[in-house]
Copies of this chain bind each other. A is one copy, B any other.
Amino acid sequence: MDQVRVGMIGYKFMGKAHSHAYRDLPMFFPETPRPVMKAICGRNEAGVNQAAKQFGWEEAVTDWRELVRRDDIDLVDINAPSDAHKEIAIEAAKAGKHLFCEKPLALTLADAREMLEAAEAAGVKHMIGFNYRFAPAVRLAKKLIDEGRLGRIYHFRAVFLQDWILDPDFPLVWRLDKNVAGSGSHGDLGAHLIDMAHYLIGEMTDVVGMSETFIKERPMPSSMTGLSARGSKDAPKGPVTVDDATLFLARFRNGALGSFEATRFAAGHRCTNGFEINGSLGSVQFDFERMNELQVYFTDDAADVQGFRRVLATDPAHAYAEAWWPPGHTIGYEHTFIHETVELMEALRDDREPMPNFRDGVRCQAVLEAVERSVEQKRWVQISEM
């Protein structure tokens, strides 16, 4: 297999990121099977036509049901709004297509499980878009842990801090509507932290959390597209139905303690997706706003030169780095998608499960919902309850 024919549903922010990954992959990873951009699908005909042209798809279509059944499609890429993931994924699986679904897998754990079951029943490959795993600096953290270089893990603390809705007059966009988005900062940002924890540390056993919606009502938007919206601050107001911030504590199966915070009310933080891990032999720190860097500390450094090292993950020793530029020449956000796509293409070629996949989506959803239950019932919740 030297190419994979892709049909993609969705053409906004994530649609653009995925399209770019498909376009760039062959140039930088020529040994990897080549994605063929067959068709892009959206409800708005003019919109999807324009996207197809701009992003480089062979064809634009508006009926996803038709698309997922086409013989010339190997892989269905689902980045439509979250509330549409489930139906599409199940149909596509039934049609025997491999699946690449953006996070969150679904709006509920039950739905996510159905999707996983459908994929497994159909025997298709499935991947979920936790793209932050694919930053080379994150790969380095994983490598250090896997090689035992951090020792026994004691602490994982993670924050995902943004500030884009800090202004109380920012309009009531779809991401603030529970029916469409499922949840707020928790599902949008916290989900990435949870997946990162699963990837780097392992399973959690218990969680306790709290949530808040600081601004309860906002002006209705006059128009919306992707993340942006237009509106007047004098427009009529509607209720914000999702959380502005959610924090939780967790215990991991391996004995580590976890702390998680996701908020859209952290002034000055455009996109601080950060974590720190402390182990018996060392520590690492990551902040997505400096995504090429990993701060690394080892307890066995000589006594007079102990300190966190700023490692720029652009050396040949770092994952994916040799595909790009010489050491010291950094990469950006979009590269996480390219690397993610490399993983997907190679997993399909090698007939193995891509990582992360729907199982990771399900277990992320389980933690998300356990936290929600904890918030509602004001108590510790075991993941095994879910």
Contacts and interface: CB of A to CB of B under 8 A. Distances in A.
A365 interface: no
Contacts of A312: 270, 289, 307
Interface string A121-157: 0000000000000000000100110000000001101
Given A268-B297, A304-B318, A311-B307, A328 B249 contact: no
A281 B305 CA distance: 14
B154 A308 contact: no
Interface stretch (A102-110, A205-213, A234-242): A205-213
A297 B271 CA distance: 15
Contacts of A310: 307-310
Interface in A311-325: 311-312, 314-318, 324-325
Interface in A191-213: 208-210, 212
Interface stretch (A70-78, A91-99, A331-339, A346-354): A331-339
A271 B257 CA distance: 20
Interface in A250-268: 251, 255, 257, 259, 261, 263, 265-268
Nearest to A378: B380
A214 B305 contact: no
Contact of A56 (B27, B247, B265, B315): B27
Interface stretch (A16-24, A40-48, A79-87): A16-24
When all copies of this chain in the complex are counted, the total is 4
Nearest to A16: B27
B272 A328 contact: yes
A159 interface: yes
A69 interface: no
Contact of A379 (B140, B155, B380): B380
Contacts of A328: 162, 269-272, 288-289
Contacts of A269: 278, 283, 328
A351 B280 CA distance: 47
B266 A155 contact: yes
A292 B312 CA distance: 14
Contacts of A309: 301, 305-310
A143 B303 CA distance: 13
A41 to B, nearest CB: 18
Contact of A315 (B20, B247, B278, B306): B306
B307 A282 contact: no
Interface in A271-293: 271-272, 276, 278-283, 288-292
Contact of A255 (B157, B214, B271): B214
A331 B289 CA distance: 10
Contacts of A280: 166, 168, 265, 267
A190 to B, nearest CB: 13
A290 B289 CA distance: 10
A1 interface: no
10 contacts: A13-B325, A155-B266, A259-B261, A263-B278, A272-B328, A290-B290, A303-B317, A324-B333, A325-B333, A331-B333
